[in-house]
Amino acid sequence: MKSVWISEDADPRLAEYLGSAGRQVCRVPHTAAVGHAVSAHPDIYMCRLGAGAEAEVFFGDPSELGPDYPQDVRFNAVVTSKYIISLNRVTSPMLICAAEKLYPGIRLINVPQGYTKCNMVVIDDTHFITEDAGIAKALSKYPEITCMTVSTGHVALRGLKNGCLGGASGRVGSDIVFNGDLSSHPDFERIKAFIENCGLNTVCFPEWRLTDIGSIISE
Protein backbone atom coordinates (compact mmCIF):
# COMPACT_ATOMS: atom_id res chain seq x y z
CA MET A 1 0.00 0.00 0.00
CA LYS A 2 1.32 3.43 -0.96
CA SER A 3 1.74 5.97 1.82
CA VAL A 4 0.71 9.61 2.15
CA TRP A 5 2.02 12.09 4.70
CA ILE A 6 -0.09 14.83 6.27
CA SER A 7 0.26 17.06 9.30
CA GLU A 8 -1.03 15.79 12.62
CA ASP A 9 -3.12 18.99 12.61
CA ALA A 10 -4.95 18.01 9.39
CA ASP A 11 -8.69 17.54 9.63
CA PRO A 12 -9.54 13.89 10.43
CA ARG A 13 -11.88 13.87 7.45
CA LEU A 14 -8.92 14.40 5.12
CA ALA A 15 -7.20 11.37 6.63
CA GLU A 16 -10.41 9.38 6.25
CA TYR A 17 -10.66 10.33 2.57
CA LEU A 18 -7.04 9.44 1.87
CA GLY A 19 -7.46 6.11 3.62
CA SER A 20 -10.53 5.37 1.53
CA ALA A 21 -8.44 6.16 -1.56
CA GLY A 22 -6.18 3.24 -0.65
CA ARG A 23 -3.35 5.12 1.04
CA GLN A 24 -1.57 4.40 4.29
CA VAL A 25 -1.94 7.70 6.13
CA CYS A 26 1.14 8.84 8.07
CA ARG A 27 0.74 11.76 10.46
CA VAL A 28 3.70 14.13 10.83
CA PRO A 29 4.00 15.32 14.45
CA HIS A 30 5.22 18.66 15.74
CA THR A 31 8.94 18.74 16.52
CA ALA A 32 11.33 21.28 18.01
CA ALA A 33 13.48 21.32 14.84
CA VAL A 34 11.75 24.37 13.32
CA GLY A 35 9.28 27.09 14.30
CA HIS A 36 6.00 25.81 15.71
CA ALA A 37 3.75 27.14 12.93
CA VAL A 38 5.38 24.80 10.38
CA SER A 39 6.75 22.12 12.68
CA ALA A 40 4.16 19.48 11.72
CA HIS A 41 4.37 20.25 7.99
CA PRO A 42 5.50 17.35 5.80
CA ASP A 43 7.13 19.64 3.23
CA ILE A 44 9.57 20.84 5.89
CA TYR A 45 10.96 17.33 6.44
CA MET A 46 10.54 15.59 3.09
CA CYS A 47 10.24 16.19 -0.63
CA ARG A 48 8.32 14.34 -3.31
CA LEU A 49 10.72 13.37 -6.10
CA GLY A 50 8.43 13.57 -9.08
CA ALA A 51 5.17 15.09 -10.23
CA GLY A 52 3.41 12.04 -11.63
CA ALA A 53 0.80 9.70 -10.20
CA GLU A 54 3.52 7.91 -8.22
CA ALA A 55 6.82 9.19 -6.91
CA GLU A 56 9.61 8.43 -4.50
CA VAL A 57 9.83 10.53 -1.35
CA PHE A 58 13.08 11.97 -0.04
CA PHE A 59 13.32 12.17 3.75
CA GLY A 60 15.64 14.90 4.93
CA ASP A 61 18.01 14.78 7.87
CA PRO A 62 16.38 16.91 10.62
CA SER A 63 19.85 17.92 11.84
CA GLU A 64 20.10 20.09 8.70
CA LEU A 65 17.14 22.16 9.88
CA GLY A 66 17.00 25.14 12.21
CA PRO A 67 14.31 27.21 13.91
CA ASP A 68 14.58 30.25 11.65
CA TYR A 69 14.33 30.98 7.94
CA PRO A 70 16.14 29.92 5.77
CA GLN A 71 17.34 26.98 7.90
CA ASP A 72 13.80 25.58 7.89
CA VAL A 73 13.44 25.35 4.09
CA ARG A 74 16.32 23.01 3.28
CA PHE A 75 13.92 20.40 1.85
CA ASN A 76 11.09 22.72 0.76
CA ALA A 77 11.69 22.29 -2.96
CA VAL A 78 9.61 21.21 -5.94
CA VAL A 79 11.15 18.28 -7.80
CA THR A 80 9.73 16.92 -11.04
CA SER A 81 11.41 14.54 -13.48
CA LYS A 82 12.70 17.60 -15.33
CA TYR A 83 13.40 20.28 -12.71
CA ILE A 84 14.51 21.04 -9.18
CA ILE A 85 12.76 24.31 -8.36
CA SER A 86 13.96 26.01 -5.19
CA LEU A 87 16.00 28.77 -3.62
CA ASN A 88 19.09 26.86 -4.67
CA ARG A 89 21.58 28.36 -2.22
CA VAL A 90 19.68 27.00 0.80
CA THR A 91 18.50 23.69 -0.64
CA SER A 92 20.06 20.60 0.91
CA PRO A 93 22.84 19.15 -1.28
CA MET A 94 21.59 15.71 -0.23
CA LEU A 95 18.18 16.47 -1.76
CA ILE A 96 19.75 17.76 -4.96
CA CYS A 97 21.98 14.68 -5.15
CA ALA A 98 19.00 12.34 -4.69
CA ALA A 99 17.03 14.11 -7.43
CA GLU A 100 19.99 14.08 -9.84
CA LYS A 101 20.56 10.38 -9.21
CA LEU A 102 16.92 9.58 -9.90
CA TYR A 103 16.61 11.89 -12.91
CA PRO A 104 19.95 12.26 -14.76
CA GLY A 105 20.02 15.58 -16.59
CA ILE A 106 17.52 17.26 -14.29
CA ARG A 107 17.82 21.07 -14.35
CA LEU A 108 18.07 23.41 -11.39
CA ILE A 109 15.75 26.42 -11.48
CA ASN A 110 16.50 29.08 -8.91
CA VAL A 111 13.57 31.06 -7.48
CA PRO A 112 13.64 33.84 -4.88
CA GLN A 113 11.20 32.10 -2.51
CA GLY A 114 12.63 29.66 0.03
CA TYR A 115 9.22 28.24 0.88
CA THR A 116 9.01 26.97 -2.67
CA LYS A 117 6.79 23.92 -2.24
CA CYS A 118 4.53 25.84 0.15
CA ASN A 119 3.93 28.33 -2.65
CA MET A 120 3.42 25.91 -5.55
CA VAL A 121 0.61 23.56 -6.51
CA VAL A 122 2.35 20.90 -8.59
CA ILE A 123 0.10 19.52 -11.32
CA ASP A 124 2.63 17.66 -13.46
CA ASP A 125 6.19 18.07 -14.77
CA THR A 126 5.53 21.41 -16.46
CA HIS A 127 2.27 22.81 -15.02
CA PHE A 128 2.13 24.71 -11.74
CA ILE A 129 0.00 27.18 -9.79
CA THR A 130 1.43 29.82 -7.46
CA GLU A 131 0.55 33.01 -5.60
CA ASP A 132 4.19 34.07 -5.55
CA ALA A 133 5.17 36.68 -8.17
CA GLY A 134 8.87 35.86 -7.82
CA ILE A 135 8.32 32.19 -8.57
CA ALA A 136 6.07 33.03 -11.52
CA LYS A 137 8.67 35.42 -12.95
CA ALA A 138 11.48 32.88 -12.62
CA LEU A 139 9.44 30.14 -14.31
CA SER A 140 8.35 32.48 -17.13
CA LYS A 141 11.90 32.20 -18.53
CA TYR A 142 11.18 28.57 -19.46
CA PRO A 143 8.74 28.43 -22.41
CA GLU A 144 7.96 24.76 -21.80
CA ILE A 145 6.59 25.58 -18.33
CA THR A 146 3.08 26.87 -17.75
CA CYS A 147 2.61 28.54 -14.39
CA MET A 148 -0.75 30.07 -13.49
CA THR A 149 -0.67 32.90 -10.96
CA VAL A 150 -3.56 33.25 -8.52
CA SER A 151 -4.61 35.70 -5.82
CA THR A 152 -2.63 35.81 -2.59
CA GLY A 153 -4.32 35.07 0.71
CA HIS A 154 -7.56 33.09 1.08
CA VAL A 155 -5.70 30.18 2.71
CA ALA A 156 -5.53 29.77 6.49
CA LEU A 157 -2.44 28.69 8.42
CA ARG A 158 -2.57 28.08 12.14
CA GLY A 159 -0.26 30.49 13.97
CA LEU A 160 0.33 32.81 11.01
CA LYS A 161 -1.70 35.42 9.15
CA ASN A 162 -1.95 33.50 5.87
CA GLY A 163 -1.03 30.18 4.39
CA CYS A 164 -0.27 29.18 0.80
CA LEU A 165 -2.22 27.18 -1.76
CA GLY A 166 0.68 24.81 -2.43
CA GLY A 167 0.81 23.92 1.25
CA ALA A 168 -2.91 23.15 1.15
CA SER A 169 -2.57 20.67 -1.70
CA GLY A 170 -0.92 17.58 -3.11
CA ARG A 171 -1.18 15.08 -5.93
CA VAL A 172 -2.65 11.71 -5.01
CA GLY A 173 -2.88 9.43 -8.02
CA SER A 174 -4.84 11.26 -10.71
CA ASP A 175 -6.26 13.79 -8.24
CA ILE A 176 -5.04 17.15 -7.01
CA VAL A 177 -6.37 17.17 -3.46
CA PHE A 178 -6.97 20.40 -1.55
CA ASN A 179 -7.29 20.49 2.22
CA GLY A 180 -10.58 22.32 2.64
CA ASP A 181 -13.01 24.45 0.67
CA LEU A 182 -11.26 25.41 -2.55
CA SER A 183 -14.56 26.78 -3.88
CA SER A 184 -14.15 29.69 -1.43
CA HIS A 185 -11.04 30.83 -3.32
CA PRO A 186 -11.74 33.70 -5.76
CA ASP A 187 -9.84 31.87 -8.51
CA PHE A 188 -11.57 28.54 -7.94
CA GLU A 189 -13.00 28.17 -11.45
CA ARG A 190 -9.65 29.02 -13.08
CA ILE A 191 -7.79 26.61 -10.79
CA LYS A 192 -10.25 23.80 -11.44
CA ALA A 193 -10.17 24.33 -15.22
CA PHE A 194 -6.35 24.45 -15.24
CA ILE A 195 -6.12 21.14 -13.40
CA GLU A 196 -8.76 19.45 -15.52
CA ASN A 197 -7.11 20.68 -18.73
CA CYS A 198 -4.07 18.69 -17.59
CA GLY A 199 -6.23 15.55 -17.42
CA LEU A 200 -6.49 15.43 -13.62
CA ASN A 201 -9.31 15.77 -11.10
CA THR A 202 -9.82 18.41 -8.44
CA VAL A 203 -10.81 17.15 -4.98
CA CYS A 204 -11.71 19.51 -2.15
CA PHE A 205 -13.81 19.59 1.00
CA PRO A 206 -16.41 22.33 1.48
CA GLU A 207 -16.95 21.20 5.08
CA TRP A 208 -13.93 23.14 6.36
CA ARG A 209 -11.78 26.16 5.58
CA LEU A 210 -9.03 25.92 2.98
CA THR A 211 -5.94 25.47 5.15
CA ASP A 212 -2.19 25.16 4.61
CA ILE A 213 -0.98 21.96 6.33
CA GLY A 214 2.46 21.75 4.74
CA SER A 215 1.34 19.89 1.62
CA ILE A 216 -0.12 16.43 1.09
CA ILE A 217 2.86 14.27 0.09
CA SER A 218 2.12 10.89 -1.46
CA GLU A 219 4.19 8.10 -2.95
Asked if 84 contacts 93 with a C-beta cutoff of 8 angstroms, the reply is: no
Q: Over 90: is that where the pLDDT of 161 sits?
A: no
pLDDT digits (tens, 9 = 90+) for 10-61: 999 999 999 999 999 999 999 999 999 999 999 999 999 999 999 999 999 9
C-alpha distances in angstroms, 34 versus 106, 112, 115, 204?
29, 21, 13, 29
- Please name each of the domains of the chain with its CATH number: 3-218 (3.75.10)
Burial 13-24 (b: 16+ CB within 10 A, else e): ebbebbeebebe
Length of the chain: 219
Q: What residue type is 111 in one-letter code?
A: V
Model pLDDT, residue 160: 84
With vertex at residue 205, the alpha carbon angle to CA 211 and CA 116, rounded to the nearest 5 degrees, is 35
Task: Output the pTM of the full model.
Answer: 0.97
pLDDT digits (tens, 9 = 90+) for 100-143: 999 999 999 999 999 999 999 999 999 999 999 999 999 999 99
Model pLDDT, residue 9: 96
**Closest CA relative to residue 28, chosen from 51, 66, 59, 1:** 59
